[in-house]
Amino acid sequence: MTTLHQEHDSHPHTHGPHCGHTEVRHGDHVDYAHDGHLHREHSGHWDECEPGGHVSHESHEHRHGEGCGHPRVTHGDHVDYLHDGHRHAEHDGHWDDH
């Protein structure tokens, strides 16, 4: 899975451990959930951290939803669930791995 490089223009807020936004571990960096987007610091600016392509999370038997025990993060027009270092989103009867 590749991550698209989409610079987030005019982002005056500096994210960090105490900024109040949910931290999401993502590979070798940390994203911050902010206004339905995931932001990551990159080369002195903030990027929209979005996966490129469609990656299905195979053999994921757990059903996410209210009360499942995993943190929810608003992501665009849907909700992701933070689970085992991944963001899972329901899609066409299966779970995508963001």
Confidence band, pLDDT 50/70/90 cuts, at residue 14: confident
Q: What is the pLDDT of residues 52-89, one digit of tens each?
A: 666 677 776 778 888 888 888 887 788 888 877 677 88
Q: Quick check: pTM over 0.75?
A: no
Q: Which two tokens stand for residue 9?
A: 């223009």
Least Cα distance to 2 among 53, 47, 48, 43 occurs for 53
Q: Which amino acid is at 58?
A: E
- Predicted confidence at residue 3, as pLDDT, reads 47
**Cα distance between residue 92 and residue 98, in whole Å:** 15
Show me where the domains of the chain are located: 2-97
What is the spatial order of strands in the sheet that 72-75 belongs to? 72-75, 78-83, 86-91, 94-97
